[in-house]
Structure 1
Amino acid sequence: MTTLFISDLHLSAERTDMTDCFLTFMREEAQGIDALYVLGDFFEMWVGDDDHSPFHQQIKTAFKQLTNTGTPCYFIHGNRDFLIGKRFSRETGVTLLPEHAVIDLYGQPTLILHGDTLCTLDEKYQAYRKKVHNPLIQWLFLRLPLALRRRIGNQLRQGSSKANQEKQQTIMDVTPEEVVKVMAEHQVHTMIHGHTHRPAIHQLMVEGQPARRIVLGDWYDHGSVLVCTPQGCELQTRAFADTSHPAD
């Protein structure tokens, strides 16, 4: 009995080492497990379900092959792929979840989320997030020509990278008080999220009770997987076959 969690792969056609590691993971580890959860920022950029590039088709095929075997796969949007929609779900068999979801993880109610909503000190990002999650703005954006959407997406990605370089690391991390508040609201003592790229298992107190916050790692230098069984959870890494990649 095993459940796997991944996030922050930031997959792109340029990073074949990362993609190869993911495809190997899907073939050799994800088959036959209880469930696979993808907690956002799976793609480096997603500008609409109508982007049928060969790279995207390759990734969707891997998901479809997995779900066709009966392995459940669930997806929570991140800040890079929040436009993944119903067509992607139909084509892959992946179930889309709300931004905050409570699951039963071997008898333990567990809150799963991408994690960006916990970074409340990053006020500029939270204001940007509110805008791009506006249904009207998304509706208008998805009706632009695909080539234009790709150009806009690349510009936003470059702007985000530059802005993050100028921010203090403490601002980009989660706000501890927000973590406790959200866990109390959902009445859980286990939380799993990504986004911050700081894999760790944190111990804390929620309403006077011991709790834990598990942070998933990114896939920039190696694969990162949270492996959970009825006996517990462990953060693990997966080596890339080829660790060379283009400079930022």
Structure 2
Amino acid sequence: MNSPKTFDAGPAKAAPSLAFDELTAPPEWRRIEFLSDLHLSPHTPATLAALQAHLQETSADAVLLLGDIFEVWVGDDARFDDFEASCLEILRSAGARLKLYFMAGNRDFLLGPDMLKDCGAQALSDPTVLCAFGQRWLLTHGDALCLADSAYQAFRTQVRTPQWQAQFLAQPLAVRRALAQQMRDGSKAQQAMQREDLWADLDTEACLAWLKVTDCKALIHGHTHRPAEHVLAPGLIRHVLSDWDFESEAPRGDVLRLRASGLRRIPLA
């Protein structure tokens, strides 16, 4: 991983400053996969099983987890509990045979170095530029670019501060779990009051600004649960990852697979 770079990305609405890392794929890599938004919890055993099966079977040299792999993560000391310990073993097994990377999402931003070390995974900053197959690919979870949701952006700024995180993590694990459930219940109640098609999406101006300063032509992200490809401008594309839900009557979930020949969406359901 190269040293972080910081640039001015333009007007305030379009993210005024942007610090990003670069990850250069070694020449021996032939396949790189991206996935996000599994929202794993004790209530999603089928989705966890789908992840385990895919990680065991994939021919990818590297798998990049782009956030919200867990429905909630309240601290790395939780990794020894039953559900989290099961997830740890699945990720550890994958990390032993391929390169595994993790980028924090809005649900699992408290996943830290202890969990990553035990999984054999490396942290990715948000955003990161992946240099692979002669191209530059901008990777982000996506929530930082949902600028129309001002209430969430204020909350995000608060909980990403070292002070807030230190205070939260200092509380007993049971208390943290209860607080996380309260926040999750509040979020669900707020979402229920809105039509799904009106939920905030990534700001196009901000996406274009990030692509410009990072010298990338493609953005890959999750978060919105709206898998698609969007042409932002001539030659500039936004690829949206699918969420995973193998508990429903109509299971869904896919990965994006990058090879020298290009990017391809692989349905798993």
Relative to the length of structure 1, the TM-score reads 0.90
Decide which of 181, 190, 194 is 2:222's aligned counterpart.
194
Decide which of 95, 110, 133 is 2:137's aligned counterpart.
110
Looking at structure 1, the residues matched to 179 and 169 of structure 2 have their Cα atoms a distance apart, in angstroms, of: 12
SS of the aligned residue for 1:148 comes to helix
Looking at structure 1, the residues matched to 188 and 210 of structure 2 have their Cα atoms a distance apart, in angstroms, of: 28
Instruction: Please tell me whether residue 229 in structure 1 is matched to residue 229 in structure 2.
Output: no
Looking at structure 2, the residues matched to 193 and 91 of structure 1 have their Cα atoms a distance apart, in angstroms, of: 25
Relative to the length of structure 2, the TM-score reads 0.83
Amino acid at match of 1:24: A
Looking at structure 1, the residues matched to 62 and 39 of structure 2 have their Cα atoms a distance apart, in angstroms, of: 21
Instruction: Please tell me whether residue 126 in structure 1 is matched to residue 138 in structure 2.
Output: no
Give, in angstroms, the shift of residue 171 of structure 1.
4.7
Instruction: Please tell me whether residue 238 in structure 1 is matched to residue 263 in structure 2.
Output: no
| Equivalent residue, structure 1, for 2:248 | none
Looking at structure 2, the residues matched to 68 and 35 of structure 1 have their Cα atoms a distance apart, in angstroms, of: 11
Instruction: Please tell me whether residue 178 in structure 1 is matched to residue 206 in structure 2.
Output: yes
Looking at structure 1, the residues matched to 193 and 45 of structure 2 have their Cα atoms a distance apart, in angstroms, of: 29
Give, in angstroms, the shift of residue 236 of structure 1.
2.3
Give, in angstroms, the shift of residue 2 of structure 1.
1.3
SS of the aligned residue for 2:177 comes to helix
Amino acid at match of 2:163: L
Amino acid at match of 2:180: G
Looking at structure 2, the residues matched to 162 and 173 of structure 1 have their Cα atoms a distance apart, in angstroms, of: 19
What does 1:14-29 align with in structure 2 at a 5 Å threshold?
A: 14-29=43-58
SS of the aligned residue for 2:34 comes to strand
- Sequence identity of aligned pairs in percent? 36
Looking at structure 1, the residues matched to 237 and 126 of structure 2 have their Cα atoms a distance apart, in angstroms, of: 19
Give, in angstroms, the shift of residue 65 of structure 1.
1.3
Amino acid at match of 2:108: D
Instruction: Please tell me whether residue 218 in structure 1 is matched to residue 218 in structure 2.
Output: no
| Equivalent residue, structure 1, for 2:231 | 203
Looking at structure 1, the residues matched to 127 and 193 of structure 2 have their Cα atoms a distance apart, in angstroms, of: 29
Structure 2, unmatched stretches of 5+, are 1-29, 246-250
| Equivalent residue, structure 2, for 1:243 | none
Give, in angstroms, the shift of residue 53 of structure 1.
1.4
Give, in angstroms, the shift of residue 170 of structure 1.
4.0
Instruction: Please tell me whether residue 100 in structure 1 is matched to residue 127 in structure 2.
Output: yes
SS of the aligned residue for 2:189 comes to helix
Decide whether the 8 Å contact of 1:119 with 1:171 is kept in 2: no
Give, in angstroms, the shift of residue 224 of structure 1.
1.6
Decide whether the 8 Å contact of 1:201 with 1:213 is kept in 2: yes
Decide which of 76, 80, 88 is 2:103's aligned counterpart.
76
Give, in angstroms, the shift of residue 108 of structure 1.
1.0
Amino acid at match of 1:119: C
**CA-to-partner distance for each residue in 1:35-84, whole Å, 9 max, x for gaps?**
10000000001000000212111111112112212x11111100000000
Decide whether the 8 Å contact of 2:204 with 2:232 is kept in 1: no
Amino acid at match of 1:195: H
Looking at structure 1, the residues matched to 232 and 252 of structure 2 have their Cα atoms a distance apart, in angstroms, of: 28
Give, in angstroms, the shift of residue 165 of structure 1.
2.5
| Equivalent residue, structure 2, for 1:54 | 82
Which 4+ residue blocks in structure 1 deviate beyond 4 angstroms?
none
| Equivalent residue, structure 2, for 1:2 | 31
Decide whether the 8 Å contact of 1:22 with 1:223 is kept in 2: no
Give, in angstroms, the shift of residue 234 of structure 1.
1.6
Amino acid at match of 2:129: V
